[in-house]
Copies of this chain bind each other. A is one copy, B any other.
Amino acid sequence: AQVAGTGAGEVTSSSVTLFGVVDLAVAYGHGSENNLSRLVSGANTVSRLGFRGVEDLGGGLGAGFWLESGLNVDDGTGSGSNTNNQPSGATSSGALTFGRRATASLMGTWGEIRLGRDYVATFRNRDQTDPFTTNGVGASLPYAISIIGVTETRASNMIGYFLPAAALGGFFGEAQYYMGENTSGSDGNGWQARLGYANKVWGVAGAYGLTKYAQTATTGDNKAWNIGGHWNFGWANLMAGWFEDEVERTSTLKGTGYILGAVIPIRVDQLKISYSSYKTDDVGDPRTQKLAVGYVYNLSKRTAAYGTYAHVQNHGSAAVGLNGSLTGPGKNSDGFDLGLKHSF
- Report yes or no: B75 in contact with A117, Cβ–Cβ below 8 A: yes
Residues of B within 8 A of A241 (CB): none
Given contacts A75-B83, A77-B83, A96-B98, contact A300 B55 (CB under 8 A): yes
Q: Which residues of B contact A34 (CB under 8 A)?
A: 183-184
Q: Given A76-B99, A97-B96, A57 and B104 touching (CB < 8 A)?
A: no
Contact A302–B63 (Cβ < 8 Å)? yes
- Give CA–CA (A207, B260) in the complex, Å: 51
Interface assignment of A92: CB less than 8 Å from any CB of chain B: yes
User: How many Å from the CB of A64 to the closest CB on chain B?
Assistant: 7
Q: Which of B71, B76, B302 contacts A55 (CB 8 A)?
A: B302
A77 and B99 within 8 A (CB): yes
Q: In the complex, are the beta carbons of B157 and A75 less than 8 A apart? A: yes
CA distance A179 to B90 in the complex (A): 27
Partner of A77, one of B63, B65, B81, B299: B81
Number of copies of this protein chain within its complex: 3
Annotate A43-60 by CB proximity to B: 1 below 8 A, 0 otherwise.
Answer: 000000101010101100
Bound together, the chains give a CA A326 to CA B184 distance in angstroms of: 10
Q: B342 contacts A55, CB within 8 Å?
A: yes
Asked if A23 CB lies within 8 Å of chain B CBs, one says yes
The contact size tier of chain A is 35 or more
B67 touches A24 (CB 8 A): no
Verify if A73 is at the interface (C-beta below 8 Å from B).
yes
State whether the Cβ of A78 lies closer than 8 Å to any Cβ in chain B.
yes
Say yes or no: A57 contacts B299, CB within 8 Å: yes
Asked if A324 lies at the interface with its beta carbon under 8 angstroms from chain B, I say yes
Q: Which residues of B contact A24 (CB under 8 A)?
A: 103-104, 115-116
The residue of chain B having its C-beta at the shortest distance from the C-beta of A59 within the complex is: B299
In the complex with contacts A39-B115, A81-B77, A340-B115, A91-B91 CB distance below 8 A: no
Query: Which 8 residue pairs across A and B have the least CB separation, nearest first?
Result: A91-B94, A95-B95, A92-B92, A75-B156, A76-B102, A76-B98, A24-B115, A39-B157
30 A–B contacts, CB within 8 A, in A order? A14-B302, A16-B18, A18-B18, A34-B183, A36-B183, A39-B179, A53-B344, A55-B300, A55-B342, A63-B300, A63-B340, A64-B342, A67-B76, A69-B76, A69-B96, A71-B98, A74-B156, A75-B89, A75-B99, A75-B116, A75-B157, A77-B99, A80-B94, A92-B94, A94-B95, A95-B96, A95-B97, A104-B342, A106-B305, A115-B340
Supplied contacts A22-B67, A73-B103, A91-B95, 13 more A-B pairs, CB within 8 Å: A20-B65, A22-B65, A22-B116, A36-B181, A36-B183, A39-B179, A55-B302, A74-B116, A75-B84, A80-B94, A91-B94, A104-B341, A115-B340
